[in-house]
Every structure is written in structure tokens, then in C-alpha cells.
Amino acid sequence: MEHSRSFRVIPVLLLASFFETVNAADIAAPNVILIVADDLGYGDLGCYGQKEIKTPCLDRLATEGTRFTDFYAGSTVCAPSRCVLMTGLHTGHARVRGNALVPLLPEDVTLAEIFKARGYHTGMFGKWGLGEPGSTGIPNKQGFDEWFGYLNQGHAHNYYPEFLWRNESQEKLPGNKAVAGVAIRKGTYSQDLFLRESLAFLAQNKDRPFFLYLPWTLPHANNEAGRVKGNGMEIPSLGEYASKSWPEPEKGRAAMISRLDADVGKIVEKVAELGLAENTLILFTSDNGPHAEGNSMVEFFDSNGPLRGSKRDLYEGGIRVPLIVRWKGHVPVGKTNDTPWGFVDMVPTLAALIDAEVPKGTDGVSMLSVIEGRNSPEHPPLYWEFHERGFDQAVRMGSWKGVRHGMGPIELYDLKTDISEEHNVASDHADIVHQMTEYLATARTESEHWPVDTTKQKQNRKRPTAAKAE
């Protein structure tokens, strides 16, 4: 069974005593808006080098804050990545380590619970993926006062679902009908509702501290529609991309990313309209690298930029993601920062921001000083494991990156000079390989849900070549 470390088992009823609970009126710390795109690649935004897809709102947000170049998702697929984000435990310790329907348990302390215990009103609109209906993992049992969206990642493939969850009840969506996850009637686009709910939440909570988590589904593909209809990139309008001579899935991918960009812009505009810009920290990132799904191709727009691999890889293209941070008067403006950190650090970082206690046993460290442009703390190794194609591990120590497939040899890359992971230098640095081997031997605990399987053949994905946008 799952090995829970006893010093981090905290019953929900004791959360108020575990954290220093305060009245909302006593809080001077900022509001927090955490926006997480779904399968958005490192190279999908203009401010990260994208040439064809227009992302003016996020590009502007980057000029108003800091753009991080060495930021990492919690995993290379969605559910475990979100578990790392919510709990501060890497995938060697996290409850959820893959896209199976395993719920969070009452003893798992989430980011939302930390905010709630400090007097914040907590809301989420989008995709959860950490608990099915009636389980202990649903958002309302994991610290969210209100939420609206998809509970599991399979349901979230369909942008025209027949229903979404509002707290613990299903809410029917007008005009939608689906068969096996593929919409046959399209009346209501889910992202329209997520934006509406997000803007309403901001207006309703402008006079009290809030934590708003927006795990939107753009630009994830509808995998089922891709198989049935040949195009899984669902968007109501292709906009300016309709006249392009690109394949239809690529037009859809571009339109989805531009739509995501525009909706982030509306959130930023609402924050300004409500007079909250100086007291609201905004973070924008992605849950993993770009997908090759729905008949869209990673290489068409160079969605992984200079990186090797994509979603489901533990090479950089699968786990290194954009991060833009803005907090007026506190975060350096127009700066780029190459400090390595990731989802695993978000719990201690935001806990430090609101002067909350960090749950014992978390794997990350507070990077608040980095966000604020001050010193960079010493960071422990960043660790990932992945189970869909057997058992893969990866670790970053400083500028060194190690990747291991099964119990095979460690591949070693120096990211300082080889961001594309083209040159395996393991034979030249036996000392670093030895250090990584020792670390990987103790980096994880066993899981009943994700036992180590080294029997499957790992696909050693290289960057493919194909026609690109013109």
C-alpha cells in the first residue's frame, strides 16, 4: 500500500490548529491568481520565441513582471503534475504519480487548504484530476470553497461536455450532446464558462483576500475527436488563422493558444478594473510540455522551442514550461530569470508569501526571494518519475540533468551548454553520474498504485522533422 510518511499525516479537522488561522481582516499579504494552461509548450508563447501564434497579452504580462526560463512542471502528464503543484511532493512521494483515477486523501495537505486556513477565500475553475465524485479527493474536501469544472482528465477532453461539476453537483450545459467523448451537438464551450466564472469570482471577492486557481484546459486536444474526426483541436472560431494554408488541426492549435492568451488578458484587465493590481500576485504556467495529440504536431510550430521531447518525455521538452510572474511593486519588471525551480516549490513559496506554515515533509523550498528578485536559495535536486512507458526517472542538479530509462544507464546532459540534450556526456563525468545514481536510489518511496515496471521498452524520442508553419 501507499507509504505515507507519518510526520505529514494531518487530519482535516486539525488543519486549523496546524496552521495559524487568522481573520481575513488581519491579512496584509496579496491575493494570488494561479493560471495553469494544459499542454502548452515552452515555445508556444511569443515571449518564449514563438513566431507564428499570437500571444500579445501574455507577452505584455512578461514585460510587466518576470519571465522564468528554467521552470519545471511537476510531471510530464496532467494529473501527477497537478498533484505536485497542490501538495509540494515530487512524483517520487506524491499520492498521484500518473493519470489513473487515484484520489487525494484527507491527510494530503493542499495549497488551497493552506490559503483557507489563513483566512483566504478559495476558488477554482477548470480541470481538477485529483479525485472522482464522492471521493476524498474532490476540490471541496481539499480546501476549495467553490469550484466549477471537470473532475477527471478524460471528461476534460471534450470542450462541449453535457455537464460540468459545480461543487458536488452536476450542472447541465445547454445545447451539448456527446457520444463516447465526441460532441455531436455544440452549444456551450466550456472555456467560455470558465472565463465567466473566473471574472465573477474576482468581482465578488474584491474586498477580501482570495486564492484563485485557474487550471484551464486550453490547448489540450480532444483525443477522441482526433481519432474519430481527424481533428481534436476544438475551438468555436479559428479567427485570424482560418485563412492560413496550414492543416486544420494546426489552425485549431494556434486559435486555442491565442484564445487562452486573450482570456488571460481579460483576467488581468479585471484585476486592474477592480483596483487590485498592486495587491495581486499573478502566476501563469503550464502543466507539462506540448502534446502530439488530436492530429496536431509538436514540431509544426516548434512548440517545444529548443528543447528535446514533448509530453510524456522526461527530457526538457516534456517538463520545462513557461512561468510568468507579476506583482506590481514587488516582482522585477521586464526581467528574465534562469533560476531552476518548479511546481514542487509552489507550496512553500506561496506559504511564505502569506506567512503560513509549510506542511512537514514537502520536497520543495520557498522561492519567494527569487520571485521578488533577491537571492536564490540553495535548491535540492529536482526529481521526476514516470510510469506510462515502463519506468523513467530524471533529476536536475544545478546545470546537470540526468535521465534514466528503467534500470539502464544514466544519460547526462549539461544544460548550461546543451539545452537541447543532444550530447550525452556521462562517460566524461563519472563523479556526477555516481552522485545521481546514489540520489535516485533514495529519491522515492514505493506506491501500491505505481509499482516500478522496467519490463516495457522505452521509446527514446528524438526531435522529429516535419513540415512547419509558413
Give tens-digit pLDDT for 206-219.
Answer: 999 999 999 999 99
Which one has a higher pLDDT value, 20 or 386?
386
Please report, for residues 138, 236, 240, 242, 250, the alpha-carbon distance to residue 245 in angstroms, rounded to integers and kept in the order given.
44, 19, 12, 8, 10
Ranges of each domain in the chain: 6-381
pLDDT range class, residue 29, cuts 50, 70, 90: confident
Residue 274 clears pLDDT 70, i.e. is over it: yes
**What average pLDDT does the segment 351-358 reach?**
96
**pLDDT at position 3 over 80:** no
> What is the structure's pLDDT at 469?
72
Q: What is the mean pLDDT of residues 152-178?
A: 97
- Residue 20: the pLDDT is 43
Q: Report the pLDDT value the prediction gives residue 454, as an integer from 0 to 100.
A: 72
Question: What per-residue string of b and e applies to 117-131 under the rule 16 or more CB within 10 Å gives b?
Answer: bbbbbbbbbbbbbbb
Looking at residue 447, what DSSP letter applies? -
Q: What is the structure's pLDDT at 453?
A: 80
pLDDT (tens digit, 9 = 90+) per residue, 379-418?
A: 999 999 999 989 999 999 999 999 999 999 999 999 999 9
d(CA 352, CA 44): 31
The mean per-residue pLDDT over the stretch 105-129 comes to: 98
pLDDT average, residue stretch 241-261: 98
pLDDT of residue 65: 98
pLDDT at 283: 99
Q: What is the pLDDT of residue 376?
A: 86
Residue 76 has phi, psi (to 5 degrees) of: -100, 0
Inform me whether the pLDDT recorded for 465 exceeds 60.
no
Q: Report how far Cα 208 is from the mean position of its chain's Cα atoms.
A: 26
pLDDT for position 331: 97
Residue 381 phi, psi dihedral angles, 5° rounding: -55, 145
Q: How confident is the model at residue 470 (pLDDT cuts 50, 70, 90)?
A: low
Mean pLDDT, the chain, integer:
92
Q: What global pTM score does this model have?
A: 0.93
Tell how far CA 27 is from the center of its chain: 27
Q: Among residues of the chain, what percentage have pLDDT more than 90?
A: 88
Q: Is residue 74's pLDDT more than 70?
A: yes
Query: How are the residues of the chain apportioned to helix, strand and coil, as percentages rounded to the nearest 5?
Result: 30, 20, 50
Q: What was the pLDDT predicted at 422?
A: 98
Q: Is 14 exposed, middle or buried (0-12, 13-18, 19+ CB in 10 A)?
A: exposed
pLDDT of residue 14: 41
Residue 424: pLDDT band with limits 50, 70, 90: very high
Q: Which amino acid is at 339?
A: T
d(CA 32, CA 347): 12
User: To which CATH superfamily is domain 6-381 assigned?
Assistant: Alkaline Phosphatase, subunit A (3.40.720.10)
Average pLDDT over residues 106-134: 98
Residue 353's pLDDT is: 97
pLDDT at 265 over 50: yes
Contact between residue 262 and residue 223 where contact means Cβ atoms under 8 Å apart:
no
pLDDT (average), residues 218-232: 96
Helix boundaries (H) for 230-358? 248-273, 316-319, 346-353
Count of H helices and E strands in the chain?
Answer: 11, 17
Give the confidence band of 467 by pLDDT, cuts at 50, 70, 90: low
Asked if the model's pLDDT at residue 16 lies above 70, the reply is no
Helical residues (DSSP H) of 190-281, grouped into ranges: 190-204, 223-229, 248-273
Q: CB-hemisphere CA count at 13 Å for 199?
A: 15
- The model's pLDDT over 160-171, given as tens digits with 9 standing for 90+, comes to 999 999 999 999
Predicted local confidence at residue 17, as pLDDT: 41
